Structure 1
Amino acid sequence: MSNEELHQNGEPAVINEEPAASPSLDEQLANALAELEKVKQDVMYARAEGENIRRRGLEELDKARKFAVEKFARELLAVKDAMEMALLDTSGNFDALKMGVDLTHKSLVSAFEKFELKDIAPAVGDKLDPNLHQAISAVPADQEANTVVNVMQKGYSLSGRVLRPAMVVVAAAK
């Protein structure tokens, strides 16, 4: 034993080795309730933040839907203006009218190209592709079955996705 552990008279000093007093049950309960309240607040905050994110996402999606075709619509305005100007020409000059319609068509084709809107125009003799063509009838023909005999209406695709299949008449099986 060191000198510090000895009492003044030389006898060993009694060292108080009692453990530190633990919190009472009431204090433990109060601490647990305080912690529970903090966790509740954190959960409520997280829920509110999640709801705000969801709401903002829905608003952004709604805006995207409303204005997704805005650029395309602006391109079509020029086409509409050109058509209206052609229709206003009352001079009876059909060459000028034809030229106006031709320019309008070129403007429309240009707008389609900008936005990857492409024709689906099968040629007579092509094999029917059900992914791109819609057979509206089958007629007896001297061609192989399911071969395009006539194109009734061109189809269109947008960025590789079919908007409208081409309407075709196909050769019937013999």
Structure 2
Amino acid sequence: MTDNLGPLRQAMADLSEHGGTADMYERALRTSRQAQRRMAVTTGAAAVAVVFAIGATVAVAANRRSDTPSPPASAPTSAGSQGLGCPSTQTLGNLVELPEGWSFAPRDVECVETWAAADVQRSDASSVIYLFHHTAGTGWRYHDQGNGWDCTDLDLTEPATFCTP
């Protein structure tokens, strides 16, 4: 059986000439631009939210920090006395690792202004002084070891037994 498709083809050609072309390209571009605008607005809103969240967190933390009184860095004390803010030998021992056979002397830590000195006994029966410095924000830190320091180099205005004359 043979089909006569000629008239059908002719009718379809006539329809296509009068119907025009479908404008899918313009519609695709318009949809793409809308999606890009939505993405830009969403990204911008998310960035603003993150900035505000971080700013609020910092503001709350700063407010709490300023509400609580900070402990004194180190109260000046006389030699051999444990003053307020003066660390214990146990606290200083957590800051340094002493060599084997070395230990902090059982005497009190000497604190003058923002400096603390502790005697360290060595296995050869000699001693050395460990010097620590306190700064706001970081606390006590190991500074040096030796037998004495110049008080002017340490910016001390008060006398200290760990200073050399």
Which TM bucket (shorter chain)?
Answer: 0.3 to 0.5
Structure with bigger helix share is 1
User: TM-score under structure 1 normalisation?
Assistant: 0.39
User: TM-score under structure 2 normalisation?
Assistant: 0.41
